Amino acid sequence: MRLWYIFLIIFSLSLAADQVPVQPTTNKKSLKNQKVRWGEEESFSPEYTSGFFKKFGLGVWGDGIAINHNSNPKWLQLNFVYGITKDLYGLNLGFANFTQGGKYKNEKERISNVKGLSLGLLTNYYEQNTNVTGISLAGGANILENGDFKGIALGIVNEVKGNVTGIALGILWNGIDKGKNFKGIAGGMVNRINGNLKGIVIGGVNGTDSTGTLTGISLGVTNFAKEIKGIMIGGANSTIEEGDLSGLALGIMNGAIQGNLQGVIMGGYNFTGGEPFANTNRGGELKGLAIGFVSNKIEKDLKGVAIGGLGNVVYGDVYGMEAGLIGNYTGGVSFALQLGTINYAKESKGIQIGILNYTPKKARLQLGLINIAWENPIPILPIVNFYIK
């Protein structure tokens, strides 16, 4: 009840302040320092309510039961059920806190600014045309319809239709909509950015839309983006569309749908191409080291080292090394070392070491129980087969 008394006093003083006549000044010095506004410029000024006590607002039920509802800007807004404010520089506290976009004196819409601390037991809801700087804590949801957020957002759900810079921790959901960007730290069961994501992301599902790049560290059950740069640790790490997966990827499955795998890729199965187990002619190269505890599938060239538990399938040329327990398949020319039980290359200009080594064309050097190179001087030989230019 004391809080009610305080606001009744503030309300009474604000009414009294409005009744005090303003005496015209004749001080030449004050007139000299006054800023002169032309009529058109004045119309583009934001709403402003004078008076110290007008900086404090109380909301019980929207604009129906409220004190200083239309005052702007405010330093303190308290809301017992829900209240509405525009520009706020300070504290917004209540069950449900609503912020509206502002208007100029000519009634055209403008962006409102919230700078400070917003504490909502249920929600902090920022309507369209609002920029937020500070801390937004909600027992339920922090929602920004159209504007940028800089600071810390904590809630069960955080949804921003604008750029975010800072920390967003949402138990269920962190969402950035309308092709905007996120820079900072995001933690939640689902982190979905319709734009670029830079920083640290921890969650169940972390990703961007088909236009976004994920740069930094991402830890999740699933990590996906058009392009990935950094450290990815999860059950499945994959790019979408034509982007590359670059850096360090640790997962059960790591893939680049229409791009390249670059860096250190470790997982159960690593692949390029639209289908994990087929040649779609859309996938890219492997540039670096790929360790697949099951296997690796590369639709274009391999430029590096591929180690597969069962084997490796490369549809292009190979520069480096392939090693697989069962075998290695190269659809192009192998300039590499192939180590496996069975090794196949369309043409081998490197070394094949295995029980069965096979190429329908020439083989520079084959070491194995059976060596077949149909265009060598002697096509089939045990132990060793080779040709010299």
Among the candidates 307, 334, 353, a domain finishes at 307
C-alpha closest to that of 234 among 263, 258, 208, 255: 255
| Matching residue, tokens 């830079």 | 198
What is the Cα–Cα distance from 333 to 336, expressed in whole angstroms? 9
What is the Cα–Cα distance from 119 to 148, expressed in whole angstroms? 18
> Are 234 and 302 in the same domain?
yes
In a domain, 25, yes or no: no
| Residues facing 338 on adjacent strands | 322, 352
> Are 303 and 323 in the same domain?
no
In a domain, 208, yes or no: no
pLDDT at position 134 is 97
Cβ neighbours of residue 296 closer than 8 Å, sequence gap 6 or more: 269, 270, 271, 286, 290, 306, 307, 308, 312, 313
User: What single letter denotes the amino acid at residue 377?
Assistant: P
pLDDT at position 242 is 82
Among the candidates 307, 337, 367, a domain finishes at 307
Positions of the chain with pLDDT under 50: 1, 3-42
Do the Cβ atoms of 190 and 205 come closer than 8 Å? yes
pLDDT at position 178 is 65
Q: 203: buried, middle or exposed (CB in 10 Å: 19+, 13-18, 0-12)?
A: buried
pLDDT at position 240 is 85
Number of domains observed in the structure of the chain:
3
What is the Cα–Cα distance from 96 to 328, expressed in whole angstroms? 62
> Are 116 and 56 in the same domain?
yes
> Are 323 and 341 in the same domain?
yes
In a domain, 359, yes or no: yes
> Are 296 and 341 in the same domain?
no
> Are 51 and 141 in the same domain?
yes
Q: Is the pTM of this model over 0.95?
A: no
> Are 292 and 364 in the same domain?
no
Among the candidates 115, 147, 179, a domain finishes at 147
In a domain, 364, yes or no: yes
| Residues facing 99 on adjacent strands | 85, 126
pLDDT at position 179 is 66
In a domain, 312, yes or no: no
Cβ neighbours of residue 56 closer than 8 Å, sequence gap 6 or more: 7, 10, 67, 68, 74, 75, 76, 77
pLDDT at position 82 is 86
In a domain, 97, yes or no: yes
In a domain, 33, yes or no: no
> Are 139 and 91 in the same domain?
yes
> Are 65 and 129 in the same domain?
yes
In a domain, 174, yes or no: no
Positive or negative torsion for Cα 314, 320, 324, 326: positive
What is the Cα–Cα distance from 83 to 57, expressed in whole angstroms? 9
What is the Cα–Cα distance from 374 to 372, expressed in whole angstroms? 6
> Are 332 and 370 in the same domain?
yes
Host domain of residue 141:
46-147
pLDDT at position 275 is 74
- CB burial of 133-159 (b: ≥16 within 10 Å; e: otherwise) equals bbbbbbeebbbbbbbbbebbbbbbbbb
